């Protein structure tokens, strides 16, 4: 009975589907999170009679053949990198990218990770760091006695220092873009890593050459659509039940067979 195994592949695939959906729902309020989607593909086919093969010496051909599929597999789980909604928080170090591009984050081992989550902080040395304490690239240090920090749409960071009349420019936030966003590797903590599939990053200043604008005092919310996730969850659960039904039916057929004399 192939149908027993086919039902099992279906249950496995739907389990993956539920796992992906539950991760999306769990991250519905994670800033900068991009929803994922599981994509399924049919498995190979067993050709019991190949379509187009000859069925007689006179050259008559089998119209459609007999091909029996072997079930389903998870083809890919990919991220949908659409823009999340931007909400105002009022915090001067909360920055959101409106458009394409990732913030670059320097990891302790010297490599660069990429993130869309812009809830930045200051560390003890006055450096602008992510919520996990990793410095933003290129590095930006806010001098002491700073009263306000202003980040404009092009990523220029200006500070107003106590006792000075003119604002002082301390640096420039740069963004990175990838040829293929979907090829980035997720490493957790809202961060992504470059892979051969994503291509090499192109670094540039915000608001020009197709890079997104920087919005100060705002955060990008996750792009998870909860209503869509709940309906997908219902579909996945029903599909799971129906695949288990396939297994039960196959089992009943086998049991009828074994009860035969």
**Hey, which residues between 12 and 51 contact other proteins (CB under 8 A)?**
13-14, 17, 37, 39-45, 47-51
Site stretch for other proteins (CB under 8 A), options 69-77, 114-122, 129-137, 143-151: 69-77
Sheet bearing 146-151, strands edge to edge? 146-151, 156-161, 168-172
**Hey, which residues between 126 and 165 contact other proteins (CB under 8 A)?**
none
- With CB under 8 A as the rule, give the number of residues binding other proteins: 72
Phi, psi of 179 (to 5 degrees): -60, -40
Q: How far is the CB of 57 from other proteins (least distance, A)?
A: 19
Contact flag: residue 64 with other proteins (CB under 8 A): yes
Q: How far is the CB of 100 from other proteins (least distance, A)?
A: 7
Q: x/- string (CB under 8 A) for other proteins, residues 204-223?
A: -----xx-------------
The answer to whether 185 touches 192, Cβ cutoff 8 Å, is: yes
The residue from 26, 66, 153, 234 that contacts other proteins (CB under 8 A) is: 66
* Tokens standing for residue 13: 């695939």
The answer to whether 161 touches 143, Cβ cutoff 8 Å, is: yes
Site stretch for other proteins (CB under 8 A), options 110-118, 133-141, 144-152, 196-204: 196-204
d(CA 39, CA 78): 8
The answer to whether 33 touches 27, Cβ cutoff 8 Å, is: yes
Quick count: other Cβ atoms within 10 Å of Cβ 238? 11
DSSP three-state, residue 255:
helix
Site stretch for other proteins (CB under 8 A), options 9-17, 22-30, 109-117, 137-145: 9-17
Measured from the CB atom, the residue of 204 and 217 that comes closer to other proteins is 204
Site stretch for other proteins (CB under 8 A), options 62-70, 136-144, 152-160, 164-172: 62-70
The answer to whether 243 touches 7, Cβ cutoff 8 Å, is: yes
**Hey, which residues between 236 and 255 contact other proteins (CB under 8 A)?**
236, 238-239, 242-243, 245-246, 249-250, 252-253
The residue from 182, 187, 226, 230 that contacts other proteins (CB under 8 A) is: 182
d(CA 77, CA 27): 16
Phi, psi of 23 (to 5 degrees): -65, -40
Q: How far is the CB of 246 from other proteins (least distance, A)?
A: 5
The residue from 28, 77, 80, 93 that contacts other proteins (CB under 8 A) is: 80
Q: How far is the CB of 222 from other proteins (least distance, A)?
A: 13
Cα–Cα distances in Å, from 35 out to 17, 185, 190, 238?
13, 14, 12, 22
d(CA 213, CA 236): 38
Site stretch for other proteins (CB under 8 A), options 7-15, 25-33, 155-163, 213-221: 7-15
């Amino acid at each position: 009975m192939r149908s027993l195994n086919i039902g099992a592949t279906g249950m496995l695939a739907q389990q993956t589907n539920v796992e992906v959906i539950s991760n999306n729902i769990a991250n519905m309020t994670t800033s900068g999170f991009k929803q994922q989607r599981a994509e399924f593909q049919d498995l190979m086919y067993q050709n019991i009679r190949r379509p187009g093969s000859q069925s007689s010496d006179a050259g008559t051909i089998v119209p459609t053949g007999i091909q029996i599929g072997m079930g389903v597999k998870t083809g890919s789980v990919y991220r949908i990198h659409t823009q999340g909604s931007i909400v105002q928080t009022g915090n001067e170090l909360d920055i959101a990218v409106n458009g394409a591009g990732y913030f670059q984050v320097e990891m302790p081992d010297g490599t660069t990770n990429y993130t869309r989550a812009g809830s930045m902080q200051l560390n003890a040395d006055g450096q602008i760091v992510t919520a996990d304490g990793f410095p933003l690239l290129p590095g930006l240090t806010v001098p002491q006695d700073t009263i306000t920090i202003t980040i404009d749409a092009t990523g220029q960071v200006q500070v107003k220092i106590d006792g000075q009349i003119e604002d002082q420019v301390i640096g420039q936030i740069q963004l990175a873009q990838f040829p293929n966003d979907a090829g980035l590797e997720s490493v957790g903590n809202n961060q992504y890593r470059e892979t051969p599939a994503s291509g090499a990053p192109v670094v540039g200043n915000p608001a020009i050459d197709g890079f997104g604008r920087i919005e100060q005092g705002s955060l990008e919310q996750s792009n998870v659509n909860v209503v869509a996730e709940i309906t997908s969850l219902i579909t996945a659960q029903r599909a799971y039940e129906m695949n288990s039904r396939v297994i039960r039916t196959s089992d009943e057929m086998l049991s009828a067979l074994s009860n035969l004399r």
